[in-house]
Every structure is written in C-alpha cells, then in structure tokens.
C-alpha cells in the first residue's frame, strides 16, 4: 500500500507511538509534517530524511483556532497541503494517575478542555484541506479508554469523547469524501504504566504490545490509503487482541 | 413486586437529581419519590424546580427544590451541603442537566456552543461525582452515581457532534469511576434514554417527520415516558436490586439502538 503524493500531518510524534506511525506513513510514500515541539521532533525528522522522506517539524500548537489554522498554513508552505491528519497528542498530565476526587478544576481544565478543544480546532482547521483532497483523519486512542481505568478517569473521558466525536464528524463529512477513523492501541503504547493483562478478562491474543512502526504503522497507512476509502467512523483495534468489543 | 414493596425500595435514602425541573430529570425525581426516597430537585430555575418539588409533595412524596447551576462548583457544593443538612445523608446522585443540543455543522461550531455542552454535561458530571463522593462513600453499598447519557454517545450523531462527544465522555466516566469506586461498594451507571421531554417535543414541533421516524425506529413503536419508563430504570439502578450492576450504560429507548 503506497501513499505517494500524500501529505500527512502528525501530532504527538515526540513519543514512540506517533513517531512510529510517522515513520510508517513516510516510508509508504507520504511527506510528513510533524506538529509539536521542534526540538523533540528533530531526531524523527532526521530519521525520516535518512529514509528519503520529505519531512519537517513545525512549531505548532492547537490551543486556539488561530494557532491551528496557522499550523496548517505553515505545513502547506513547508511540506504541502495536508490530506492526512494523524492526531495522537494529549496533554502529558493526562497520563498521570490520580484519584478522581483529587482532580481539581485546573487539572480537569488542562486535560479535558485542553484535549477536546485542541482536537476541535485541529479538525476545524484541517477541514478545508481535507475536503478539497478527499482526505482522512486518524485519531489514535488506547483501548483502555473503552474498558475504563481507575485513577485515569479524566484521560479515558477525553479519549472516548474524541473517539465518538470522530464518529459524529465522520457522518457529517462523509459527503465531502473525508474519512475519519480511530486506531486503538494497547495500553503499553501510552505512558500510563498499565499492562495489557490488566485490561481484559483474557490476555492479549497475540502476546506483546506491538511495535509502533511495524505493527501499528501499516494499519495507519491502510486507513490513510485509497484502500480504506469506504471505511469511516470505525475504530480499528490494533492492540494485539486485548479489547474485543464489539 | 407488590405496590408496598415498590414504594419502599428507596425509603430512607436521599437523592439529588440535577435538571429535575422538567423532562427526564423530573420523571426520575417522581419515580424516586414514589419509591420512598427524599428527592432534591436541583434545577437551574426556580420557576421549574419549585413546582416540580410541589407536585411531588402533593402526591405525598418528600421533595425540596434547591436552585443549582451544575456548571458552578460552588453551587454544587452548596446543593450537596444543603441536602445533607436537611436529610442527613446522600445516597444517590443523578446528573441529568444538559444544555447545548443545538444542531450544528462541526467545521463552523463555536466555542460558545462547546462551552454549553462541555460545562453542563461533563463539568456537571465531574462536580456531581467528586462533590457527592464523601457522602456516597459513607453510604457504602447504597452509594449510587447515575449519569444520563445518550445512544449518540455510542454511535455519534450526524446533527450534533459536540453532544455526541460529551455524552461519550459521560459513558467513559461511568466505566472508569465504577472501577475506581467499586471497592467501596458504590455503583456508577449511565442511562441512555429516549423519552417524551420538552426538548424532544420542541424538536418534533420543528420537524413533524422526526416524531414518526423516532417512533418507527423503536421496536416498541412509542416514545418513552420519563417517569414510568426512564424513572423505572433509575429506581432499579438506585435500589438494592441494582447493586451488582456497575459501569454500564442502560439504553432505555424502546429498542431503537442495539449497538452495545
């Protein structure tokens, strides 16, 4: 499956999960714009470039609509008009375990409002580009959000809200030819210190957590490709067979 | 179950129901009161909340209206404190209040609309949970948190993406909190209703075809009654009989949505 000519924007590639997805998309032929902390992303850019992938790190934020618009404009100027958006970033504080009664307004504001508003602004900013190019959105979520997790209430609330937002928006933007899907990954793929075995009644069917570039990357490439043009609003679990509902 | 048994299922327990001035919240409040609970109508407006409480008392139930804005921590703190002050305990917290169901195109959706959805559904759930918690903990195996969600929070709704997101948020809170509070005996559940409410009546008035469509989609070919149909499920979850059900979304829509 190839993505030649596509331009992918990826958030969260400071961490191994989205870094692996970015490498997979790039090696499948897409040019890659990495949104986030330029310094932390420099090594990913180097790795992409050494694989002959056109790539740039963009000092982008999406905490306001204006900032998100700016990120898409800079991406268009430096790499090209985005037609694949992979969103894997949440505020780091979301990963911290905390009893829900100890979550104060400030923490809830940062995790909940920060994540949801950011995702809204990114999607809204990306819409004109995606519409013109029958683009696709891939939201990366851990399957632990679907099963629920003690002491990670706010994080799971964010991820499930985003996952269902993707479904609703998939219904609205379908007539534009835009697809929006979720890639659901094992809990070990995000830095929350939770093992797969604690999530499900059964252990992961395939054993390990999966390797981001080689196990999860191909699923992202598929969702970004023409082969998935009729797949939208779906959550594709690539967690090694932990969460199997439905 | 005999009438007497039904009437005593929640006797001696106290419940707060947010958004209980009308619609589903009012139906649940009536059902709780009929089952013997003391009910606090936490309504944003006294104009709806006071008559609701009065109606329950006129039927022989125990009810008080406390004017409460669920998006305000201090309002919610005051509501919980006044409830416990008046009735001595709080076993059942029901968060139903919601604002912001206006249809929208997502790409044009405003922060103002987001604020309404987020503050009423999600912040309201957060405040309901954490502020009721000390009392639910004291209630132990009688402690209940019930959040009102929607099938849209499972499958997404084409006309109201923001609503879909916040309703999903409430379902996730239900699952995760059920795990966190389960060891204390507290259950946390969600109800996803379709019921004859002022909001739905308004939507039907705007779009008469919608009523037919909603009725036709339901296996039971009717729209739920807030007190009998939705209230009945809430009473079950709040009662001892519902004590082993936790982390669940009970879809109560006459058999429209079967995707769980």
Per-residue pLDDT tens over the stretch A158-176 = 999 999 999 999 999 999 9
Q: What is the 3-state secondary structure (H, E, C) of B128-180?
A: HHHHHHHHHHHHHHHCEEEEECCCHHHHCCCCCHHHHHHHHHHHHHHHHHHHH
Instruction: Summarize the confidence of residues B137-165 as an average pLDDT.
Output: 97
CA distances from A216 to A4, A90, A154, A173 (A): 19, 19, 25, 25
Return the pLDDT at B1: 45
Residue B214 lies in a domain: no
HSE-CB of A25 using CA atoms within 13 angstroms: 33
Lowest mean pLDDT among A98-102, A201-205, B168-172: A201-205
Which of B119, B156, B157, B164 would you mutate first to test chain A, the one with the most A CBs within 10 A?
B156
Residues of B in contact with A171 (CB under 8 A): 156-158
Residue B232 to residue B241: CA distance in whole angstroms: 12
Task: Tell whether the model's pLDDT for residue B255 goes beyond 70.
Answer: yes
Tokens standing for residue A161: 């809200």
Task: Tell whether the model's pLDDT for residue B231 goes beyond 50.
Answer: yes
Q: What is the DSSP letter of B228?
A: I
Tokens standing for residue A41: 């992303």
Q: List residues bridging with B95 in a β-sheet.
A: B147
For residues B147 and B92, the answer to whether their CB atoms sit within 8 Å is no
Tokens standing for residue A211: 């390797």
B30's CB contacts (< 8 A; 6+ apart) are B55, B56, B59, B61, B226, B227, B231
Residue B139 lies in a domain: yes
Return the pLDDT at A196: 82
Percent of chain B whose predicted confidence (pLDDT) is above 90: 91
Return the pLDDT at B28: 98
Return the pLDDT at A128: 98
Residue A58 to residue A71: CA distance in whole angstroms: 7
Closest partner residue to A160 (CB to CB) among B109, B162, B169 is B169
Residue B258 lies in a domain: no
Considering only alpha carbons, which residue of chain B is nearest residue A122?
Answer: B107
Residue B37 lies in a domain: yes
The top-level CATH class assigned to A7-238 is: alpha beta
Triad A117, A118, A121: Cα angle to 5°: 85
A202's CB contacts (< 8 A; 6+ apart) are A242
> Cβ separation of B154 and A120 shorter than 8 Å?
no
Most distant CA pair in chain B: distance in Å?
A: 54
Active-site residue, B163 included: yes
Give the full edge-to-edge strand order of the sheet including A55-58. Answer: A55-58, A31-35, A7-11, A84-87, A136-142, A179-185, A235-238
The domain that holds B27 is classified in CATH as 3.40.50.720
Tell the residue number behind the tokens 């089952």, with chain if given.
B35
Residues of B in contact with A99 (CB under 8 A): 180
Return the pLDDT at A146: 95
pTM comes to 0.96
For residues B132 and A101, the answer to whether their CB atoms sit within 8 Å is no
Domain count, chain B: 1
pLDDT confidence band for B7 (50 / 70 / 90): low
Q: What is the 3-state secondary structure (H, E, C) of chain A?
A: CCCCCCEEEEECCCCHHHHHHHHHHHHCCCEEEEECCHHHHHHHHHHHHHCCCCEEEECCCCCCHHHHHHHHHHHHHHCCCCCEEEECCCCHHHHCCCCHHHCCHHHHHHHHHHHHHHHHHHHHHHHHHHHHCCCEEEEEEECHHHHCCCCCHHHHHHHHHHHHHHHHHHHHHHHHCCEEEEEEECHHHCCCCCCHHHCCCCCCCCCCCCCHHHHHHHHHHHHHCHHHCCCCCCEEEECCCCCCCC
Helices A65-78 and A114-132, interaxial angle, to 10°? 40
Instruction: Summarize the confidence of residues B187-193 as an average pLDDT.
Output: 98
Q: What is the DSSP letter of B105?
A: -
How many residues are present in chain B? 260
Residue B219 lies in a domain: no
Instruction: Summarize the confidence of residues B163-186 as an average pLDDT.
Output: 98
Q: Where are the domains of chain A?
A: 7-238
Range of the domain at B58: 3-195+225-252
Lowest mean pLDDT among A13-17, A45-49, B41-45, B209-213: B209-213
**H or E segment at B86?**
helix B73-87
Return the pLDDT at B95: 98
Tokens standing for residue B125: 């759930």
Return the pLDDT at A207: 86
pLDDT tens-digit map of A214-238: 999 999 999 999 999 999 999 999 9
Residue B260 to residue A7: CA distance in whole angstroms: 36
Which of A164, A165, A174, A245 would you mutate first to test chain B, the one with the most B CBs within 10 A?
A164
Q: List residues bridging with B14 in a β-sheet.
A: B38
Q: Give helix then strand counts, H and E, for chain B.
A: 11, 7
Buried (b) or exposed (e) across B242-258, using 16+ Cβ within 10 A?
Answer: beeebbbbbbbbbebbe
Determine the 3-state secondary structure of B188 from DSSP. Answer: strand
Return the pLDDT at A203: 84
Which residue in the list B87, B126, B127, B163 is annotated as catalytic?
B163
Q: What is the DSSP letter of B184?
A: G
Determine the 3-state secondary structure of B212 from DSSP. Answer: helix
Task: Tell whether the model's pLDDT for residue A185 goes beyond 70.
Answer: yes
Tokens standing for residue A33: 């714009």
**Best CA proximity match to A136, nearest among A228, A216, A60:** A228
Residue A169 to residue A173: CA distance in whole angstroms: 6
Return the pLDDT at B6: 53
Residue A23 to residue A142: CA distance in whole angstroms: 20
Residue B217 lies in a domain: no
How close A48 comes to chain B (CA, Å)? 32
Q: What is the DSSP letter of B35?
A: T
pLDDT tens-digit map of A110-165: 999 999 999 999 999 999 999 999 999 999 999 999 999 999 999 999 999 999 99
Residue A22 to residue A86: CA distance in whole angstroms: 9
Return the pLDDT at A198: 78
Return the pLDDT at A201: 77
A127 touches chain B (CB under 8 A): yes
Task: Tell whether the model's pLDDT for residue B51 goes beyond 80.
Answer: yes
Residues of A in contact with B152 (CB under 8 A): 164, 168
């Amino acid at each position: 499956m190839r993505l030649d000519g596509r331009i992918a924007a990826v958030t969260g590639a400071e961490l191994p999960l989205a870094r692996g997805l970015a490498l997979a998309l790039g090696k499948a032929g897409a040019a890659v714009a990495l949104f986030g902390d330029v310094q932390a992303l420099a090594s990913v850019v180097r790795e992409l470039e050494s694989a002959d992938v056109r790539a740039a790190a963009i000092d982008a934020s999406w905490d306001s609509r204006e900032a998100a618009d700016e990120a898409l404009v800079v991406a268009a100027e430096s790499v090209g008009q985005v037609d694949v958006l992979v969103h894997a970033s949440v505020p780091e504080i979301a990963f911290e375990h905390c009893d829900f009664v100890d979550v104060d307004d400030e923490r809830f504001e940062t995790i909940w409002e920060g994540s949801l508003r950011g995702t809204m602004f990114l999607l809204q900013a990306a819409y004109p580009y995606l519409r013109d190019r029958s683009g696709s959105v891939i939201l990366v979520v851990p399957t632990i959000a679907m099963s629920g997790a003690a002491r990670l209430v706010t994080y799971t609330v964010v991820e499930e809200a985003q996952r269902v937002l993707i479904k609703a928006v998939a219904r609205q933007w379908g007539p534009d030819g835009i697809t929006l899907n979720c890639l659901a990954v094992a809990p070990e793929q995000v830095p929350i210190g939770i093992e797969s075995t604690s999530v499900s009644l059964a252990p992961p069917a395939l054993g390990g957590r999966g390797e981001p570039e080689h196990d999860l990357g191909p699923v992202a490439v598929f969702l970004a490709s023409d082969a998935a043009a009729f797949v939208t609003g779906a959550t594709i679990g690539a967690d090694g067979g932990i969460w199997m509902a439905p | 179950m005999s009438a007497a048994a039904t009437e005593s299922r929640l006797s001696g327990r106290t419940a707060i129901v947010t958004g209980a001035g009308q619609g589903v919240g009012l139906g649940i409040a009536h059902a709780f009161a009929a089952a013997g609970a003391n009910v606090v109508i936490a309504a944003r407006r006294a104009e709806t909340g006071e008559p609701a409480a009065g109606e329950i008392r006129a039927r022989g139930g125990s009810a008080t209206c406390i004017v409460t804005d669920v998006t305000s921590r201090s309002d919610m703190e005051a509501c919980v404190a006044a409830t416990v002050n008046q009735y001595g305990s709080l076993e059942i917290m029901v968060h139903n209040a919601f604002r912001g169901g206006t249809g929208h195109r997502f790409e044009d959706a405003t922060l103002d609309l987001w604020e309404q959805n987020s503050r009423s559904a999600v912040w309201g759930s957060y405040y309901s949970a954490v502020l009721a918690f000390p009392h639910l903990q004291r209630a132990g195996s009688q402690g209940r948190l019930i959040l009102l969600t929607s099938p849209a929070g499972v499958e997404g709704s084409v006309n109201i993406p923001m609503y879909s997101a916040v309703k999903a948020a409430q379902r996730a809170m239900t699952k995760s909190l059920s795990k966190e509070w389960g060891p204390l005996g507290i259950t946390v559940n969600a109800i996803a209703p379709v019921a004859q409410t002022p909001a739905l009546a308004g939507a039907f008035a705007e779009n008469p075809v919608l009523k037919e469509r909603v009725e036709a989609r339901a296996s039971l070919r009717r729209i739920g009654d807030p007190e009998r149909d939705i209230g009945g499920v809430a009473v079950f979850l709040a009662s001892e009989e519902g004590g082993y059900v936790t982390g669940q979304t009970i879809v109560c829509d006459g058999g429209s949505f079967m995707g769980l």
